[in-house]
Structure 1
Amino acid sequence: MNSEEVLLLFTMIGVVFGVGIGIAFRNINLSNMAIHLIGFPGEIFMNLLKMIILPLISLSIICGLCQLNAKQSGKVGMYSIIYYFITTFMAVFLGIVLVVLISPGKFGQSGGGKVESQYAKQEPPSAFEKILDLIRNVFPENIARSTIQQVESHYNKSDANNFHKKVYVDQMNVLGIIFFCISCGLIMGSLGDKVKSLVEVFNAMDIIVNKAVYLIMLLSPIGIASLIAQKLLEVDNLIATFQSLGMYLVTVILGLIIHLFVTLSLIYFLATKKNPYKFLHGLTPAALTALGTASSAASLPVTFQCLENNNHVNPLISKFVLPVGATINMDGTALYEAVASIFIAQLNGMTLNFGQLITVSITATMASIGAASIPSAGLVTMVMILTAIGLPAESANLILAVDWFLDRLRTCVNVMGDGIGCGFVEHLSEIETAETIGTFPTNIKVDPMENEKSSDDTQNTVL
């Protein structure tokens, strides 16, 4: 077994161990401090992943685009956007069909209604207002500020003199950073040999970051086990929660399974004529990381490794498509929002007409694009969808009891969808590695367990 297979094995053991610890210790009445200490290694692991996200995204996009010409960059961008919108809409459509056919809301009132939502206390933004914020964040006025904060608009509709107020919230503005890095990469690519030395510097920094990613991922078995165990111990009544929302869980999980193993797999097969399940198998470590962290962004480091090491995706494709996809391609979240909003309407005895279903589909699609790639971002956008179909924001309380669980599952689908998107775009773009990489060493393996190789051997090793 090579090092990647060993790490995958230990990560799977970590998932099982975390579930076992979480279930076994539930009857011991552990103190809050004990539960906190169980989750402490996972907290450190998450901090390390978050620490590496900014340099990973920035260097990946710049290094990928600076070595593509304008025509190739246009192809990659066009196919990426087509894939994102088609798969997101198909996820929403599937979710609506399943929740209408199964009607999970008719099986009884949710047991999660006593949980208070932090979002219910706020006046939810409309879909149009959310889109405006999305555009504002794509074009930040201060790129340094974008590394730690993003813009959020507050509207005072009763005061014409103070109607709109921009507020900065403590959350990385990933869209703004991506736009800035895309601009830098395209400009560097257009300058050619004039910036050859600068390109080599960025490639060297990219190699350093990837080596750091490799070292961080060695901690994933412990970190993921810790995160899962802590979350299981924090749920008050695990069995009752799952029983009260059983059919809702079945509907969401069934939708996620169909979307991943049927819809996305079929799209990949039709585009590439290759076995999609072999490709998905190569993304298993990324799926396990998503299961533990519930974050597409935190899963980025291992997703890069899976695509380039296991599935042999051209790094020039993955370095652009994956960071963008982790930010705006949220198939699992879109499906979840469509199912959850209609489920809540059913619980409230409300039958949605065709026009309202169209509203749900459009709002869920746009909301998922604007959803941040952080844990439980779907709950924030859920409030917006409920408002769009005339339900009170407080109704989001009904599903909070199981959101921690579904959050992990939909993140897995988001991450796997991003990975399939890279394979889809690579095939359609028809970019030949030998022509695009040239003399720049982008494919350097960073496995510290192997002996040092000569420079010629190193440049021919797949990252």
Structure 2
Amino acid sequence: MTSVETENNGDPKNDNAENKTVPHVRDIEVQTKSTEDDLQNNYCDDTDSGGNDRRKSGRGPLDRLQVVVEWTSKNMLLVLTIAGILFGLAFGFLGRLANFSPPSIMIVSFPGEILMRLLKMFILPLIVSSLIAGMAQLDSKSSGRMGFRVLSYYMGTTFLATIVGIVMVLMINPGDPSIRTSIPKLEANVVTKISTLDAILDILRNMVPENLIQACFQQAQTIYKEESPMIFDPHLEKNFGKNRVFKPTLVYRDGTNVMGMIMFCLAFGLLAGQMGAKGRLMVDFFVVLNEITMKLVGAVMWYSPFGIACLIAGKIMSIENLSATAEMLGLYMATVIVALIIHAVVTLPLIFWLFTRSNPAVFFRGMMQAWVTALGTASSAATLPVTFRCLEENNKIDPRVTRFVVSVGATVNMDGTALYEAVAAIFIAQMNGIPLGMGEIITVSITATLASVGAASIPSSALITMLLVLTALGLPTDDVSLLFTVDWILDRIRTSINVLGDGYGAGIVYHLSKTELEKMDVERKLDNLETGIAPGTEEIFSSKGLLLDSAGSVEIHM
């Protein structure tokens, strides 16, 4: 910890002291430069005429081994997580050969279920504490600009994802009418009646919850209940007819209303920050709560490799007719996966490079732990704590940016979901022999983009958003059940793409907002020095970790 005095009160001694320190710093720079020159000269002395390092030629393998060991020890959690995924795949396919009973499969999956419950347990306190603490350090203008950048990025990348999916499904043409008769459908009650208008209104309702406590564990959804008035025949003394009438009813289903909690926390955090000294105690509370939650998540993550392995193994062993399903829907799966890879490898990195002029591969390496975790858990919300850590610790993104961008992105940024829905809708049309013109294709792109936004606020969002796209095109909704047999693997891949898109978005927004954030830190520091600091300390929730105490000094956490 380094302490830097911010006031000298006009004392000439302080000026002299400052003048003495400057040559000292320059001397250090000169010494460092000369040391680098000496090292370069020594390197030249140790190289032969061909430029090969004589020292490395003698012990090159040991050096490379040491580098591998150091990298492995530094990224042990990432290595264990990747190993867990590979072990889960291997154990799952071997378990299918052993033909495990359902109770045995349940026991295999149980550690994975515990992992999901642990991660989901931290979603609510993490979103609440991080959003309030982060927004309290932003003014209304900065938060407005940041919000505009976030929404513009999310809507743009989601629309581009649907375009990539549409192009790939039209090029590959995976639809085959024989698939409809080869794969058995699920039960009829799986497909639910849904209206586009009702889905949009449900999103708006959930953005403004009527009960904040209820929003922590329930969210509103419009369902259609069937009313069947019976017509009675007095002569035959039995019911002979039935009129089917569906009536829309608003109900509350289990599941955290993430959209409503985000809207409340954004407003609460902004107002708490504008209250100044009066709201400092409340802001400090949420800063500490966020720090405690992140420490708990850090401990849980060391359990995640084992839990992810059990999740994947149990899922593979529980699938019926895996080979037949892969044979029938293999081309459809390949279309979705190739489109997702193109979006992740080409579209997102290109956008990141255009805005930041930074190497997207380096940024992805910092995000790899979050990407692998999303691949194993198939939940962007459950991956939220890991995404925060990767962005802030590995890629050095300001926490005020990550807590806002990633929290909102976990709800509204569904690049992979929109791409998947576009491909699936056109695949169903091809499977039914229904040709789609340019107007219908444009409808698919727009509907898939809009349906994916806010889909997390609806229970069973993948099913409902898919039905919205099919309804807009007039396609049969019963065929959705055909795709459920392979959705377990596609869901994991598209979720990992969603998390990757959130990370790139945070990097872009931070690059565009860096000057504003630094200016805000300076202004806040000067205001605190002019008005005085309340007894105790105030921690500013920023990437520099500034800590101002009542003595007027600034301590920087190194």
Per the TM superposition, whether the score is higher than 0.5 is yes
Structure 1 range deviating more: 312-321 or 371-380: 371-380
Per the alignment, residue 154 of structure 1 pairs with 223
- Alpha-carbon RMSD across the aligned residues, in angstroms, is 2.6
Query: Residues 132 and 333 (structure 1 numbering): CA distance in 2 closer, same or farther, change over 3 Å?
Result: same
SS in 2 for 1:41: helix
SS in 2 for 1:296: coil
Per the alignment, residue 315 of structure 1 pairs with 399
CA distance in 1, matches of 2:459, 2:274: 38
Per the alignment, residue 284 of structure 1 pairs with 368
Per the alignment, residue 257 of structure 1 pairs with 341
Gaps of 5+ in 2: 1-69, 229-244, 526-537, 545-552
How do residues 80-95 of structure 1 correspond to structure 2 at under 5 angstroms? 80-95=150-165
Asked if 1:442 is matched to 2:541, the reply is yes
Checking the alignment, whether the CA contact within 8 Å between 2:194 and 2:223 is kept in structure 1 is no
Checking the alignment, whether the CA contact within 8 Å between 2:78 and 2:369 is kept in structure 1 is yes
Per the alignment, residue 75 of structure 1 pairs with 145
CA distance in 1, matches of 2:189, 2:445: 21
Q: CA deviation at 1:32?
A: 0.7
How do residues 391-430 of structure 1 correspond to structure 2 at under 5 angstroms? 391-430=475-514
1:422-457 per-position Cα deviation (integer Å, ceiling 9, x unaligned): 001111122445843855253699xxxxxxxxxx99
Q: Which has the higher strand share?
A: 2
Gaps of 5+ in 1: 446-455
How do residues 116-195 of structure 1 correspond to structure 2 at under 5 angstroms? 116=186, 120-126=190-196, 128-154=197-223, 164-195=248-279
1:179-205 per-position Cα deviation (integer Å, ceiling 9, x unaligned): 010010111111122211221121111
Query: Residues 112 and 320 (structure 1 numbering): CA distance in 2 closer, same or farther, change over 3 Å?
Result: farther
Per the alignment, residue 430 of structure 2 pairs with 346
Query: Residues 125 and 281 (structure 1 numbering): CA distance in 2 closer, same or farther, change over 3 Å?
Result: same
For residue 371 of structure 1, the aligned residue among 407, 432, 455 is 455
Query: Residues 121 and 399 (structure 1 numbering): CA distance in 2 closer, same or farther, change over 3 Å?
Result: closer
Q: CA deviation at 1:359?
A: 1.7
Q: Determine what percentage of the aligned residue pairs are the same residue.
A: 47
CA distance in 2, matches of 1:68, 1:203: 14
For residue 557 of structure 2, the aligned residue among 449, 460, 463 is 460
CA distance in 1, matches of 2:250, 2:457: 22
Structure 1 range deviating more: 114-123 or 307-316: 114-123
Query: Residues 279 and 335 (structure 1 numbering): CA distance in 2 closer, same or farther, change over 3 Å?
Result: same
Which letter maps to 1:138?
M
CA distance in 1, matches of 2:276, 2:324: 62
Checking the alignment, whether the CA contact within 8 Å between 2:400 and 2:542 is kept in structure 1 is no
Q: CA deviation at 1:390?
A: 1.2
CA distance in 1, matches of 2:351, 2:434: 35
Which letter maps to 1:295?
S
SS in 2 for 1:322: helix
SS in 2 for 1:140: coil
Q: CA deviation at 1:377?
A: 3.3
Q: CA deviation at 1:420?
A: 0.6
Checking the alignment, whether the CA contact within 8 Å between 1:117 and 1:394 is kept in structure 2 is no
CA distance in 1, matches of 2:328, 2:355: 41
Checking the alignment, whether the CA contact within 8 Å between 1:111 and 1:241 is kept in structure 2 is no
Per the alignment, residue 43 of structure 2 pairs with none
SS in 1 for 2:434: coil
CA distance in 2, matches of 1:198, 1:232: 47
Checking the alignment, whether the CA contact within 8 Å between 1:376 and 1:404 is kept in structure 2 is no
Query: Residues 429 and 363 (structure 1 numbering): CA distance in 2 closer, same or farther, change over 3 Å?
Result: same
1:84-142 per-position Cα deviation (integer Å, ceiling 9, x unaligned): 1100111111111111121111485258731416764421222x221111011001100
Checking the alignment, whether the CA contact within 8 Å between 2:440 and 2:473 is kept in structure 1 is yes
SS in 2 for 1:167: strand
1:321-351 per-position Cα deviation (integer Å, ceiling 9, x unaligned): 1010000100000000000010011001111
For residue 231 of structure 1, the aligned residue among 298, 305, 315 is 315
Q: CA deviation at 1:237?
A: 2.2
Checking the alignment, whether the CA contact within 8 Å between 1:150 and 1:173 is kept in structure 2 is yes
Structure 1 range deviating more: 235-244 or 304-313: 235-244
SS in 1 for 2:186: coil
CA distance in 2, matches of 1:101, 1:29: 39
Q: CA deviation at 1:459?
A: 6.3
Q: CA deviation at 1:303?
A: 0.7
Which letter maps to 1:440?
E
How do residues 7-22 of structure 1 correspond to structure 2 at under 5 angstroms? 7-22=77-92
Asked if 1:268 is matched to 2:342, the reply is no
Which letter maps to 1:103?
N
Structure 1 range deviating more: 359-368 or 410-419: 359-368
Aligned residues, how many? Answer: 449
Q: What TM-score does the superposition give when structure 2 sets the normalisation length?
A: 0.76
Asked if 1:295 is matched to 2:373, the reply is no
CA distance in 1, matches of 2:226, 2:164: 36
Q: Which has the larger radius of gyration?
A: 2
SS in 2 for 1:207: helix
Structure 1 range deviating more: 190-199 or 1-10: 1-10
1:183-228 per-position Cα deviation (integer Å, ceiling 9, x unaligned): 1011111112221122112111111011011011111111110101
CA distance in 2, matches of 1:14, 1:168: 37
Checking the alignment, whether the CA contact within 8 Å between 2:255 and 2:459 is kept in structure 1 is no
Query: Residues 119 and 429 (structure 1 numbering): CA distance in 2 closer, same or farther, change over 3 Å?
Result: farther
Per the alignment, residue 105 of structure 1 pairs with 175
Q: What TM-score does the superposition give when structure 1 sets the normalisation length?
A: 0.91
Checking the alignment, whether the CA contact within 8 Å between 1:444 and 1:460 is kept in structure 2 is no
Checking the alignment, whether the CA contact within 8 Å between 2:411 and 2:457 is kept in structure 1 is yes
Checking the alignment, whether the CA contact within 8 Å between 2:177 and 2:430 is kept in structure 1 is no
Which structure carries more relative contact order (alpha carbon 8 Å, separation 6+)? 1
Which letter maps to 1:347?
M
Query: Residues 115 and 155 (structure 1 numbering): CA distance in 2 closer, same or farther, change over 3 Å?
Result: closer
SS in 1 for 2:358: coil
